[in-house]
Amino acid sequence: MSKIVDGIISKQMEIPKLYHFVQKVIAGPLHKKVEEMMVQEMPDITGRKVLDVGCGLGNYSTLFSNAQYTGFDLSPAYIDYANLTFNKSNTSFSIGNAVTPPSFSENFDFIFSVGLYHHISDEETIKSLKALQRMLAEAGSIFIVDAVFPKNFNVPGYVLRKLDRGKHVRSFRAYKELLEDNFVPTAVDYHTAGVLDFIVYKLGV
């Protein structure tokens, strides 16, 4: 039964406009909070090179109008949508896998990812983050936001995470351990927006 429900959700979410609507309704407060955090994180992005890993429909590209923005995602349908909707002289969208990221001609000052790593196993997450570290420019930084299960009693939050297409949603504690066993993160924090809980972490070169 649960496999059937998972299959239906995955299929429907491949439709960009439907996915966009669901994200807006369920994850609207989370995206708003993440946007604020990102602006704080990179107050002066003029002329900087920014990479959005698992960029989805490309919504976050609008935050980087003064930068050189590159986004990639596994879904060809999402990349088509991003190219149609957010195509500007400073943006570039392509298909790519975060586990074995595409190569780009230059390194990046700011690499970020929102809601990707709960789609990827622990081993692949480490492999991906190590590859991203190698793609950082000097003094560059990585900023990751990802889904976690609620720490406290929160039935809707828990159910939404269980229904997520990503099959590797972790607890905050397991995620933090995974990071600290493999990296020296510059920050690991827990946040809530609406009913959704999420982890935010930062890595340097």
The rounded distance, in Å, linking the Cα atoms of 130 and 4 is 35
Nearer to ligand SAM by Cβ, of 18 and 47: the residue is 18
Bridge partners (DSSP) of residue 199 are 146, 190
Site string for ligand SAM, 63-92 (x = CB under 6 A): ----------xxx--x--------------
Owner of token pair 């669901």: 22
Instruction: Please pick, from the candidates 83, 94, 97, 192, the single residue that binds ligand SAM as defined by CB under 6 A.
Output: 97
Q: Determine contact, residues 109/44, Cβ cutoff 8 Å.
A: no
Backbone φ, ψ for residue 203 (5° rounding): -130, 150
Three-class DSSP category at 179: helix
Q: State how beta strands 196-203 and 187-193 pair.
A: antiparallel
Binding pattern to ligand SAM, positions 9-48, x when CB under 6 A?
Answer: ----------------------------------------
Question: Segment 138-197, which members bind ligand SAM (CB under 6 A)?
Answer: none
Binding residues for ligand SAM, rule: CB under 6 A, are: 54-56, 59, 73-75, 78, 97-99, 114-116, 119-120
